[in-house]
Amino acid sequence: MNMNPSEMPKAFDPQAIEAGWYARWEADGLFIADAHSKKPKYTICLPPPNITGALHMGHALNHTMQDICARYRRMAGYEVLYLPGTDHAAIATQNVIEKQLTAEGTTKEQLGREAFVERVDKWYREVGDTIVAQDKILGISLDWTRLRFTMDERYVRSVMTAFVAFYERGWIYRAPRIVNWCPHDQSAISDLEVDWQEHHDTLYYIRYPVEGGGEVVIATVRPETMLADTGVAVNPTDERYRSLAGKTAILPLVGRKLPIVADAAVEKDFGTGALKVTPGHDSMDYEIGQRHSLEVINGMHPDGRMDVPGLPYDGLPALEARERVVADLKAEGFLVKEEPYTHEVGHCDRCHAVIEPLVSEQWWLRMETMRDKALAASAAGKVRWHPERYERTYLDWLRGLRDWNIGRQLWLGHRVPVYNCDNGHQIVAVERPNRCTECGSSRLTQDPDVLDTWFSAALWPFATLGWPEETDDLKAFYPNSMNSTAREIINLWVSRMIMTGLEFMGEVPFSDVAIHCVVQTPEGQRQSKSLGTGMDPRQLIAKYGADAVRAWAASVAMSSQDVRFDESRIEGYRRFCNKLWNATRLVLSSPGSPSAEARLGVLEAQEHLEDRWVLSRLANASTAATAGIEGFEFQDAIGAAYAFAWNEFCDWYLEAAKERLRAGDAVAQDVAYFCLDKVLRLLHPFMPFVTEELWSRLPGHPDYVMRAEWPQQQDKFVDPAAEESFAQVMRIVEEVRAHRQAAGAPPRGGSLKLEHPIDRVVATLSARLAWVELVDDIEGGIPLAATPGRVTFPSGGEGDARRKAELKRLKEELERTGAKLANPEFRAKAPPEIVRKLEERAAELRAAIDRLE
RNA sequence: GGGCGGCUAGCUCAGUUGGGAGAGCGCCAGCUUGACAUGCUGGAGGUCGGGGGUUCGAAACCCUCGCCGCCCACCA
């Protein structure tokens, strides 16, 4: 696998190096988890993407951060299971397919159920393949031997088992309730699937005559629903309507008698303070109706047309009915006034149709017990959230939790495992029974409803591992370790996994939840396919390579705010790959090869200043990178590795050690190889392809970097004295360079005299790096601020401008520092350590100013 | 109606116990320096959204105002 450095192309080419590695890792089984391993376990179940289309930037972010965790833990000695899967996403997929059918000029009804299901299966296969391919080019190290799909036979069995278990606990019941009805999908949806949008509508004031004389005026934005009114309500404390409660109003256009009730839910300040009660079409009205035993009238068909037999509006779509009702009210003198009104209207979050609240018979799941367990688990600190603030989002929602409408009236999804026999008995069972357990009848029909997609998703952390069977995987890999996702599904998904995990497995499903940010367009818009503002990660990968895209993802994923997409940042990471590439070329080009110790990464501390310094900085970077990954602060982790690799190892160490490397100096070679070896390991979780490629080119690396040990604490290399000395070198070199440019002198040449006392090693190294000759004495020259000394250049001016600017800067700083030190309160109250540091700084400044003057 | 987040260099963003304002990109200037021009070197650029407060000291903590965004919520 090793190659001569001369065979390494001069420039890093992501396409060329990324191609082969994934297949090799996979072929060698590097992603496959062993349930019988003795190592500690680390488990991530990939949040199953909806099978509705290709992966987008949010997925790229999420999968990258999970993959960083997975790859890091493998290197750190864990047995890692990173399990992939996809979600059938019943309502979303049905919508996608229906849209396609509409475009083809047909409907699912024309197609028929069987052909529809076939078409969906084909879609599942195609999109499933696309998603798998995308994760592979992104380098996501998923265990494909354990790929799951929520509609797989085994998974379906888990879902049925959960339903039956809930049913046996007495938590599942069927009841009529007001629900969010989507007239387009002709299904109920849960509160969380309702998308609220601002609408500019009209508020109509309508006169309702009162029996025995008088009237009450009522404001409504949905006059068509009055056809299903069964009461009028006022607030019991409302003086204006005190005499009305108990009387009866007459419903205009219909003539129905409406009891007038007093209910505290009525807002006195809104509209006229009187409310028409339509229990069949409004959730608050429904509750008022329940409290006062008002009749419930359903005035609408499931497709959104009015269902008011005997009235002229029967069969009209809601909006048309509204116009007709308003026109008739006006004609008959019932309409008092209209005014513009802005309010929020619920839409189906999948098909965007306006939601019609209506009463419907549905399957419900009681949540009290599970909610309480989840709250207790949080109180006991079982789940850590990153960032922490999202725990409150979750807890606030949990505390207000109501029963969950788990039934959907769709063609796609898990069928509710409830069977009715023709004698009216009901059987609830995981497997479809042959005959009724009560009467033996073989004439059974299954309930037509399917389950909410989130019902099956809620089981993901254990259903994927084989639950309810006590599989080896389940024993080894539950609970999972981390879950990361977008914040919009904290309540839809994360909270429900925690509840079902506690209920069925007795333990929270994961100890850490990381919520990543949202990537917006460069203009700050939301990325969306329908708006055409979405971005395909594959295009970016083609342009910059998967490593660059991943590194960028790591650097933004846990941002405290949503980020606007900035392509230049990805490009920056591609350049970083190129930098690593060329640093490797440089090291490989030195004659000879590293010692066995360096190859094994067991180098001992060194003598040369630059060697001691770079090893100390490497130890520092290792610690920071480790802490960053473990703390879900990936930006800090990659930042530390990046800064070390580029700004310390390349910019300073390799420059300092170049000549030794060229001369085949064994020690320099060992140190350089050692640093490269470690930095490739540190970067591997972020940039797996380029690190694997470069690792394979370093001598003594028969195995994958993916399987190399993560750099542990390297305290023996921490060397404060070397860091201090090298910092002095850097200050001197940078100052000399600045003078050189200000003086317009050529890039090399000149003389440097450094006064004693100065470390001989520091002086020599500084001179070498600054391309000046170290001399014992010089005429004139430019004084240095960094240390006592002077520098001259063979041609060009004296660089006086530069000196003056520096002097000004130093004096200003001294002034600020001096002012603080002169303040007796500062001296009295500030910690002595701070005072001492400031005094030292002031002394340094004074010395530097003296030298420059 | 509640709650949360953001407002730091021209742009995109870091800044974790309050104590010398940072990175990448862009910009200006100089370098075909034997790994890399996908590079190297030097440099310009910030009243840390406004105001008030706490403190010896605030980008950071408290109050308040202003925008931008998100989540939750049964006011027709």
A620: closest CA among A588, A643, A590, A591?
Answer: A643
Any atom of strand B under 7 A from CB of A650?
A: yes
Tokens coding A525? 């818009």
Subset of residues 718-737 in chain A with CB less than 7 angstroms from any atom in strand B? 734, 737
Query: What nucleotide is nearest A525 when CA is compared to C1'?
Result: B69
Query: What nucleotide is nearest A654 when CA is compared to C1'?
Result: B35
pTM of the model: 0.94
Rounded to whole angstroms, the Cα distance separating A492 from A496 reads 7
Strand B bases near protein CB (under 7 Å) are 3-7, 11-16, 19-20, 24-26, 29-31, 33-44, 55-57, 68-76
Rounded to whole angstroms, the Cα distance separating A838 from A73 reads 43
Subset of residues 515-544 in chain A with CB less than 7 angstroms from any atom in strand B? 520, 522, 524, 526
Rounded to whole angstroms, the Cα distance separating A484 from A490 reads 10
CB A644 within 8 A of CB A675: no
CB A585 within 8 A of CB A6: no
Using DSSP's 3-state secondary structure scheme, residue A759 falls into coil
A752: closest CA among A739, A744, A742?
Answer: A739
Q: From the CA atom positions of chain A, what is the Rg in Å?
A: 36
Any atom of strand B under 7 A from CB of A589?
A: yes
Whole-number pLDDT of residue A760: 92
| Nearest amino-acid residue to B23, taking CA and C1' | A639
Query: What nucleotide is nearest A389 when CA is compared to C1'?
Result: B4
Whole-number pLDDT of residue A542: 96
CB A94 within 8 A of CB A712: no
Dihedral of the CA atoms A17, A23, A27, A28 (nearest 10)?
30
Any atom of strand B under 7 A from CB of A630?
A: no
Whole-number pLDDT of residue A3: 45
List b or e across A89-126, with b for residues whose CB sees 16 or more CB atoms inside 10 angstroms.
bbbbbbbbbbeebeeeeeebeebeeeebeeebeebbee
CB neighbourhood size of A610 (10 A): 24
Any atom of strand B under 7 A from CB of A342?
A: no
CB A487 within 8 A of CB A391: no
Any atom of strand B under 7 A from CB of A568?
A: yes
DSSP string, A443-487: -EEE-S-EE-HHHHHTTHHHHTTTTTS--HHHHHH-S-SEEEEEG
| Nearest amino-acid residue to B69, taking CA and C1' | A562
A655-662 and A760-769 helices, crossing angle to 10°: 90
Whole-number pLDDT of residue A200: 87
CB neighbourhood size of A776 (10 A): 7
Low-confidence residues of chain A, pLDDT below 50? 1-3, 5
Rounded to whole angstroms, the Cα distance separating A682 from A621 reads 9
A554: closest CA among A635, A496, A666?
Answer: A635
Q: Which residues contact A31 (CB under 8 A, 6 or more apart)?
A: A25, A82, A141, A142, A143, A144
Q: What are the residues facing A751 on neighbouring strands?
A: A773, A792
Subset of residues 662-721 in chain A with CB less than 7 angstroms from any atom in strand B? 662
Whole-number pLDDT of residue A533: 81
Using DSSP's 3-state secondary structure scheme, residue A389 falls into coil
Query: What nucleotide is nearest A220 when CA is compared to C1'?
Result: B76
Subset of residues 57-76 in chain A with CB less than 7 angstroms from any atom in strand B? none
Whole-number pLDDT of residue A797: 59
Rounded to whole angstroms, the Cα distance separating A250 from A230 reads 10
Rounded to whole angstroms, the Cα distance separating A289 from A259 reads 11
Whole-number pLDDT of residue A484: 95
CA of residue A532 to C1' of nucleotide B45, angstroms: 36
Any atom of strand B under 7 A from CB of A640?
A: no
CA of residue A563 to C1' of nucleotide B11, angstroms: 13
Task: Extract long-range pairs of A241-247: CB within 8 Å, 24+ residues apart.
Answer: A241/A216, A241/A273, A241/A274, A244/A210, A244/A214, A244/A216, A244/A274, A247/A210, A247/A211, A247/A212
A66: closest CA among A485, A555, A491?
Answer: A485
Query: What nucleotide is nearest A526 when CA is compared to C1'?
Result: B69
Dihedral of the CA atoms A438, A441, A445, A451 (nearest 10)?
30
Query: What nucleotide is nearest A275 when CA is compared to C1'?
Result: B76
CA of residue A265 to C1' of nucleotide B73, angstroms: 14
Rounded to whole angstroms, the Cα distance separating A457 from A363 reads 17
Subset of residues 115-154 in chain A with CB less than 7 angstroms from any atom in strand B? none
CA A14 to chain CA centroid, Å, is: 26
Parallel, antiparallel or unpaired: strands A231-234 and A274-277: antiparallel
Q: Which residue has the tokens 């590293």?
A: A594
Q: 3-state SS of A649-716?
A: HHHHHHHHHHHHHHCCCHHHHHHHHHHHHHHHHHHCCCCHHHHHHHHHHCCCCCCCHHHCCCCCCCHH
Rounded to whole angstroms, the Cα distance separating A365 from A362 reads 10
